[in-house]
Amino acid sequence: MANEIIKYEHQFEEIRSIITMHREKALRLVNEKSLQMSWIVGKIVSNRLKSNEWGSKVVTQLSEYLRTKDPSLKGYSRRNIYNMVTFYEEYSADGFTECLQRQALPDFVQTGTAQMDGNEIVQTTSAQLPQILYLTTTGNIQCHKIEL
């Protein structure tokens, strides 16, 4: 049997490397989507909290609602939802997006327009995920610490 494996080892290794490569790609994609989901949920909750549409009690109710509607959902405690808000706010802060723009990465910064007080128009920016997360975690850009 050992001789048979040795005989086909090169072919087996080719198949093993294909499996490994695709498994790693799938894990990166799942991680990317998870980060995007956390950022989007954080954005929604942050905006509702800042507009005073929601208070901390509503965030607790959201956590309980998610747990009741789908018990298989894990990781959506009140604390984790607030972590998503922090995550969104950190990676959308003016200091962070300005840092990206200074480093000539305008493709990663989205500009949006919001109307406030009926007359005044304010332009806001936010960073695109997950490209920015990859660049910040690999050390290709240095925007890790953001003062809010």
Q: Mean pLDDT per segment of 10 residues, for the chain of length 148 residues?
A: 80 95 93 89 96 95 97 94 93 69 55 46 48 52 44
pTM confidence score = 0.62
Asked if residue 23 is part of any domain, the answer here is no
Task: Extract the runs of DSSP E, i.e. beta strands, from 6-101.
Answer: none
Asked if residue 118 is part of any domain, the answer here is yes
Count other Cβ atoms within 10 Å, centred on residue 41: 18
Distance, CA of 59 to CA of 48 (rounded, Å): 10
Asked if residue 29 is part of any domain, the answer here is no
User: Residue 123 belongs to what domain range?
Assistant: 39-137
Asked if residue 148 is part of any domain, the answer here is no
Asked if residue 144 is part of any domain, the answer here is no
Domain count along the chain:
1
Asked if residue 122 is part of any domain, the answer here is yes
The pLDDT, as a whole number, for residue 17 is 96
Burial (CB < 10 A; 0-12, 13-18, 19+), residue 125, is middle
Asked if residue 17 is part of any domain, the answer here is no
